[in-house]
Amino acid sequence: MSTRPQPTQQEKVMGDDDFIVSKTDLKGIITYGNRIFIQMSGYSESELLGAPHNILRHPDMPRVVFKLLWDTIQARREICAYVKNLAKDGSFYWVWANITPSLDRAGDLVGYFSVRRKPRPEAIQVVSGLYRTLLEAERKAGDGQAGMQASLAILNQVLEQKDMSYEEFVFGL
């Protein structure tokens, strides 16, 4: 996967009754993907297996979302997020992602399990606006920590205004 696909304005929409299922190891390397995953991402199973999950990362996504995501699942908590994914052919598809940690019998963290569903169009509208703002803040403040902090501050401000936790906010969309 040395060359990233060039993003296009082509959108793919998930089926109402479908969900994408994938599993990764602790580093985010894909260890399993179901057929819907293969179909939506445009990659073959063999291309997906062993690849990092971020091959699907769309440049429109603010980094702070993934930071929040990783921080949460590494703390062994569930996370839900709206994510814009990049398919192999450059098209994009929105998902309502839910990631939960996988524990073995001894209670050790062994990987992550992700289910991605078709999001409600109204939610996408709100989220894409918010993400644009966050992304802009990240770009303006430059890469690295500064950008992350700037967009995190905006996100917290939005939540504070709504007097909601992140979870409450995304589930309310």
Partner 1 sequence: MKNLSLGSRVRYLVGACLALFLLFGAMQVGHGLPTSQWAILTILFLLLGLTLYTVHRILKAISRLTDSLLSAARGDLDQRITGIRRGGATEELAWALNDLLDQQEAYFREVFSAFDHATRGQTFRLAMDQGLHGAFKDAMIRVNVSVESLGQVQQMALKEKLISRITDLNSGNLIKNLRSIQQYLMNMTQELTIVGQISSETAKDADGSRSTIENLVADLNQVAAMVAKTNAQISLLHEKGEEINQIVQVITDVADRTNLLALNAAIEAAHAGDVGKGFAVVAEEVRTLSENTKDAAASIATTIESFGQATSRMLEDSEQVKDLAEGSRNAVTEFRSQILKFADSAKASLGQVHKAQDLSFASLVKVDHFLFKQNGYRVLHQGSGSPEAQAIQTDHRGCRLGNWYYEGQGAENYSHVPSYHQLEAPHAGVHRNIQEAVNLLSHSWERNAETQAQIYSHFEAAERASEEVVQVLDRMVEERHRTA
58 binds partner 1 (CB under 8 A): no
Phi, psi of 81 (to 5 degrees): -155, 150
Judged by CB under 8 A, which of 11, 45, 71, 89 binds partner 1?
45
| DSSP 8-state assignment for residue 17 | T
Selected range binding partner 1 among 53-61, 81-89, 112-120, 121-129, rule: CB under 8 A = 112-120
How many residues of this chain interact with partner 1, rule: CB under 8 A?
A: 25
Structure tokens at 81: 């997020």
Q: Which amino acid is at 49?
A: L
- As a whole number of angstroms, the distance between CA 165 and CA 158 comes to 10
- As a whole number of angstroms, the distance between CA 170 and CA 113 comes to 19
Minimum CB distance to partner 1 smaller for 49 or for 146: 49
Phi, psi of 115 (to 5 degrees): -120, 130
Structure tokens at 87: 């398919």
Selected range binding partner 1 among 3-11, 12-20, 124-132, 142-150, rule: CB under 8 A = 12-20
Contact residues for partner 1, defined by CB under 8 A = 16-19, 21, 23, 31-32, 34-35, 45-46, 49, 78, 98, 100, 102, 113, 115, 117-118, 167-168, 171-172
